[in-house]
Amino acid sequence: MSDEGAFCRDCLRAQPAGTRRCIACGSPRVLRHPELNALSIAHIDCDAFYATVEKRDRPDLADKPVIIGGRRRGVVLTCCYNARIYGVRSAMPMFKALELCPHAVVLKPDMAKYRQVGLAVRGRMRDLTPLVEPLSIDEAFLDLGGTELLHKATPALSLARLADAVERELGISVSVGLSHNKFLAKLASDMQKPRGFSVIGKAETTHLLAGRKVTSIWGVGSATARSLAADGIAMIGQLQEMELETLIRRYGVMGQRLWRLSRGIDDRRVDPTGEAKSISAETTFDKDLSRPEELLPILRTLCERVAHRLKQTDLAGTTVVLKLKLSLIHI
């Protein structure tokens, strides 16, 4: 007898109840969940995107730690999972990353190539549903509600087919989160990286969230986490025990967000018309520069790069921000 809530992620064959390995191909990657066929909101995230694309194009790097970023005075844009074993993380100063992993291969980013691959992934997403909301070049929300007849498959199976096609045709892997709203779908996609497919159902939402740290809540950064810690709050379960009025009194508008998301309440729709909030370009120098005649040509180049991207996407800006990081000079 077939279990409607289970299939093999490798051969996509439906699985009987209780099987731990696929009855057809023997794979241990059997996806099973009691609500698997009832959920339709997904978050898809490409795994270590830039680094994975580089490894795809350079097989000699397959087993090596790879870091994408600037030179020694720059920062880590991203890194592969091999490098993360040594403690390397995104946004880390490059010199620190190389101290942790001195044998890493450092590559400059090739944004044109990454954009091309990212658009190819997005195109495959839109083949499943028009309701695709990009968050960045390598991740997006999808709403697959009502697509079962079109694809002759549940949303879960359609997503598994997509992940398989991306890996076979584009040479990169993605992780999938499937749930009943955007917050939980994004949370799920991070649970089993890389090549993950995690599901959070309605029945388990409150219990699953209770055991997670408050930093798992979308929008809780370091400042909010410190405020919560000062009040002795570290886990989402503690927020679930608090009244809405108390949270609003202590944390203002953020208090309402904490109350709702700690309970898994998120009524935001997947919005395919969502516009990019910013477009930027930046660089890091090998040595300190201070003279205007040195800085102005570089600033002009960065401005032209931003202008080109705006024209490509037919967008216009309302505010221009110049970010300048100064070195401390000790006399």
What residues are labeled active site?
139
Look up residue 32 and give its two tokens: 């099973």
Look up residue 125 and give its two tokens: 């997403």
Contact 250, 224 (CB under 8 A): no
Residue with tokens 């997403």: 125
Say whether the peptide bond before residue 194 is cis (omega within 30 degrees of 0). yes
- The candidate with the shortest Cα–Cα distance to 178, out of 9, 299, 323, is 9
Write out the H or E segment, with its range, that includes residue 298.
helix 292-312
Name the DSSP class of 10: T
Q: Counting Cβ atoms within 10 Å, is residue 245 exposed (0-12), middle (13-18) or buried (19+)?
A: exposed
Write out the H or E segment, with its range, that includes residue 54.
helix 49-57
Give me the amino acid identity at 60.
D
**Ramachandran angles phi, psi of 196, nearest 5°:** -90, 160
Residue 260 burial (CB count, 10 A): 16
**3-class secondary structure, 33:** coil
Contact 172, 46 (CB under 8 A): yes
